[in-house]
Structure 1
Amino acid sequence: LDSTDSAKIIGELLGGTGKEAIFKTQHQISLWKNDLKTPEEVVQTAANVWEQQTARVYASYQETLQSYQAVDFDDLIRLPAVLLQQNSEVRNKWQRRLRYLLVDECQDTNTCQFTLMKLLTGAEGMFTAVGDDDQSIYAWRGANMENLRKMQEDYPQ
Structure 2
Amino acid sequence: MSTDLTLDAPRSPYARTKRGINWEKWGWIYMRVSGVLLVVLIFGHLFVNLMVGEGINRIDFAFVGGKLSDPFWQWYDALLLWLALIHGTNGMRTIVNDYVANPRVRRILHVALIASTAVLLVLGTLVLFTFDPCPPGADPELVASFCGDIL
Whichever of the two has the greater Rg, that structure is 2
TM-score band by shorter chain is under 0.3
Q: TM-score, normalised by structure 2?
A: 0.22
Q: TM-score, normalised by structure 1?
A: 0.21
